[in-house]
């Protein structure tokens, strides 16, 4: 499992503004502007910090499971059992990252002025309900032009 976990950590670390810290229950925590977007345990379990509305859609669509310890929280868990599961984990982590960047952009803080949220949403190819939720929640930030 270490190779898959290492690959996930390596990829997420390339995203602008992402920092890693040791997770208090083991593994690697991903932090953007002081807030955790998720973490990966050494066993391959990826936990994502999102909102309950997003969690509900993710669970309904079968993209992840309820959090393994806190099933009624806004967290979800995704199991990486091998190389083929990395794509699903990265998709969900990228969604959490997009959610965080959009929230920051809405507050006037732009970690990556070149970040094109519309392109990212197309690339993630989310189920319609989830895509609509992201666009409805952050439409103003998604449409904001970044100035260099």
Looking at the chain, the whole-number percentage of residues with pLDDT higher than 90 is: 66
Read off the pTM. 0.91
Q: What angle do CA 72, 76, 80 make, to 5 degrees?
A: 145
pLDDT tops 50 at residue 148: no
**What is the Cα–Cα distance from 11 to 57, expressed in whole angstroms?**
25
**pLDDT tens-place string over residues 111-134:** 888 888 888 899 999 999 999 999
Residue with tokens 């959090």: 67
Q: And the tokens for 104?
A: 């920051």
**pLDDT tens-place string over residues 59-88:** 999 999 999 999 999 999 999 998 899 999
- Beta-strand ranges (E) seen in the chain are 18-22, 28-32, 35-40, 45-49, 65-66, 75-79
């Amino acid at each position: 499992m270490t190779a898959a976990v290492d690959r996930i950590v390596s990829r997420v670390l390339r995203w602008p503004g992402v920092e890693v810290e040791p997770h208090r229950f083991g593994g690697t925590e991903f932090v953007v502007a002081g807030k955790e977007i998720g973490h990966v345990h050494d066993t391959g379990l990826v936990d994502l910090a999102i909102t309950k509305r997003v969690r509900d859609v993710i669970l309904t669509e079968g993209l992840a499971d309820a959090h393994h310890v806190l099933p009624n929280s806004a967290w979800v868990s995704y199991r990486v059992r091998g190389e083929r599961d990395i794509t699903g984990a990265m998709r969900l982590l990228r969604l959490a990252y997009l959610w965080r960047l959009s929230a920051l952009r809405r507050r006037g803080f732009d970690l990556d002025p070149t970040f094109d949220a519309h392109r990212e949403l197309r690339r993630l190819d989310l189920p319609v309900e989830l895509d609509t939720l992201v666009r409805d929640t952050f439409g103003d930030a998604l449409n904001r032009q970044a100035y260099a």
